[in-house]
Amino acid sequence: MDTMAPRQTDSDRRAAELLAHTQHTCDPVLREAVGWLPEPLHAMIGYHFGWWDRDGRPGAFRAGKSLRAALTLCSAQACGAQDAAAALPGAAAVELIHNFTLIHDDIMDGDDTRRGRTALWRIWGATDALLAGDALHALAVRLLARAPSPDPTAMVAELSDTVIELCRGQQHDCAFEHRTDVTVGEYLGMVAGKTGALLGSACAIGAMSAGADERTVAGFHAFGRDLGVAFQLVDDVLGIWGDPEVTGKPAGNDLARRKRSLPVIAAIEAGGPDAAELTRCYDSDEPLDSGAVARLTTMVENGGGRSAAVAQAEHYLAQAINAIPAEQVSDDLRALAHVATHRDL
C-alpha cells in the first residue's frame, strides 16, 4: 500500500461514481427522516449535513462521503439483492449513526470545525448538540424498524449492539489520552470498536437487507470491521502527514493535540533513539508550536511509526478481503475498500 502516491485509478473512478450515486439515492431518505425532527433540532441537523447554513439558507456546503452507506448498498448487491432500494433504509441508518458519533466526538475532542465549517456545538452549544446527536440515533432505529427487509428486528438489534460497541471504543479512546503505557495491541482493539464496528455493521445490514443467512452476514460483518480498522490507521497517518488541502486540518494536527494515534504508540513502543524524548513531549503540558510539531513529526517517522501504521493497514485490508468468499467480493466492494485505504496525503 503506497499512501504517498496520488494517482487516479479505475478503482478511484468507480468508487467516486458509487459514492456520488449513494449520496444521490440516500439524500431523500435522510432528508425525510430528519424532517421528522422538531425545531431547532431539524435546523441543527440540516446544518451539520451541509444542506443549509446556520440561518437555514440552502447552499452547496461540503458533506460527508457516504462511505458507510455505499458499503451497505454494495454489500446487499453482493449478496444477491434484486433491488438495492430495499437496502436504502439500512444505508441511511448507518449514515445517521455515523453522524451521531461525529457530533458527539467534536464535543468530547473540543474540535471547532467539521468538514471545513464551524462545528455544530460551537454554534448551538454542547447541550443542544448532544441532544441533536441523540436524535440522530433515534432516527436510525426508527428507519430500520420500518424497513421493508426480511427481518427489521434483527437489523435494529445489530445496530444497537454496534452503538454499544462504539461507546466502549470511544470510552477507551478518551481514556488512552491520559495513559502513557498504551500498547499497539490495545490501540488496535480500541479501533476495532470505535471505527471498525460501524463499518462492520454497515456491511452486515446490507447483507441482512438481501436476506443473507447468518454465516454470510457474519462474513460481511468481518469484512467491514477489518476494513474499518485499516481505514482508521490510514486516517492516523493522515492526521500527522496529511495535506491540509485534503484533510481540512493543519499538518501535524494530531501531534499538536498530543493524540496517541498508532504511529506515535508504535514509535514509542519500538524504543528507538527518540522514544524517550517523544514520551517526554507527550507527557508535558507545554504548548507545542509549529517547530515542536515538526520535530515530533520527524521523531515519529524516524522511530518507525509511519511505516508501522501503513503495514498494519495493509494487513487489515488483506484480512478484510479474505473474510468473504472471492465470488462475493464484487468490483464495487473492492473499489470502496481501495478508496478507503488509499487516500492521498
Domain shared by 166 and 218, yes or no: no
Domain shared by 108 and 220, yes or no: no
Asked if residue 76 is part of any domain, the answer here is yes
Domain shared by 26 and 149, yes or no: yes
Domain shared by 137 and 273, yes or no: no
Domain shared by 85 and 138, yes or no: yes
Q: Which domain holds residue 47?
A: 19-170
User: Among 81-85, 128-132, 153-157, 273-277, where is mean pLDDT lowest?
Assistant: 81-85
Domain count within the chain: 2
Asked if residue 142 is part of any domain, the answer here is yes
Residue 128 cell numbers, joined: 443542544
For residue 8, what pLDDT is reported?
Answer: 63
CA-based radius of gyration for the chain: 20
Task: Give alpha helix (H) positions in the chain.
Answer: 10-34, 41-48, 67-78, 88-109, 120-124, 126-145, 152-176, 184-191, 197-209, 214-241, 244-247, 253-256, 262-270, 275-283, 290-302, 305-321, 331-341
- For residue range 142-160, list pLDDT tens digits in order: 999 999 888 999 999 999 9
Give the CA distances from residue 322 to residues 2, 47, 334, in Å, rounded to whole numbers and listed in that order: 20, 39, 12
- For residue range 156-197, list pLDDT tens digits in order: 999 999 999 999 999 999 998 888 889 999 999 999 999 999
CA 160-163-167 angle, to 5 degrees, is 145
For residue 9, what pLDDT is reported?
Answer: 78
Q: DSSP label at 114?
A: E
- Which CATH number fits the domain that encloses residue 153? 1.10.600.10
Cβ partners under 8 Å of residue 315, min gap 6:
230
pLDDT exceeds cutoff 60 at 1: no
Query: What 3-state class would DSSP assign to 115?
Result: coil
Mean pLDDT of 248-271: 89
Mean pLDDT of 312-320: 97
For residue 2, what pLDDT is reported?
Answer: 47
Domain shared by 115 and 224, yes or no: no
pLDDT exceeds cutoff 80 at 6: no
Mean pLDDT of 274-295: 91
Residue 86 cell numbers, joined: 430495499
Asked if residue 6 is part of any domain, the answer here is no
Average pLDDT value over all residues in the chain: 92
pLDDT exceeds cutoff 90 at 111: no
Type of residue found at 71: L
For residue 154, what pLDDT is reported?
Answer: 95
Asked if residue 92 is part of any domain, the answer here is yes
User: Among 54-58, 198-202, 264-268, 339-343, where is mean pLDDT lowest?
Assistant: 339-343
Cα distance between residue 45 and residue 135, in whole Å: 9
Domain shared by 236 and 290, yes or no: yes
Instruction: Tell which of 117, 139, 170 closes a domain.
Output: 170
Asked if residue 58 is part of any domain, the answer here is yes
Domain shared by 263 and 151, yes or no: no
For residue 179, what pLDDT is reported?
Answer: 84
Residue 204 cell numbers, joined: 452486515
Residue 121 cell numbers, joined: 456545538
H-helix or E-strand spanning residue 117? strand 117-118
User: Among 128-137, 153-162, 282-291, where is mean pLDDT lowest?
Assistant: 282-291
pLDDT exceeds cutoff 90 at 250: no
How much of the chain, in percent, has pLDDT values that exceed 90? 77
Which residue in the block uniquely carries the three cell numbers 448498498?
Answer: 73
Asked if residue 332 is part of any domain, the answer here is no
Asked if residue 232 is part of any domain, the answer here is yes
pTM for this one?
Answer: 0.92
How much of the chain, in percent, has pLDDT values that exceed 70? 97
Domain shared by 126 and 221, yes or no: no
- For residue range 201-247, list pLDDT tens digits in order: 999 999 999 999 999 999 999 999 999 999 999 999 999 998 877 77
**Residue 101: closest CA among 153, 168, 175:** 168
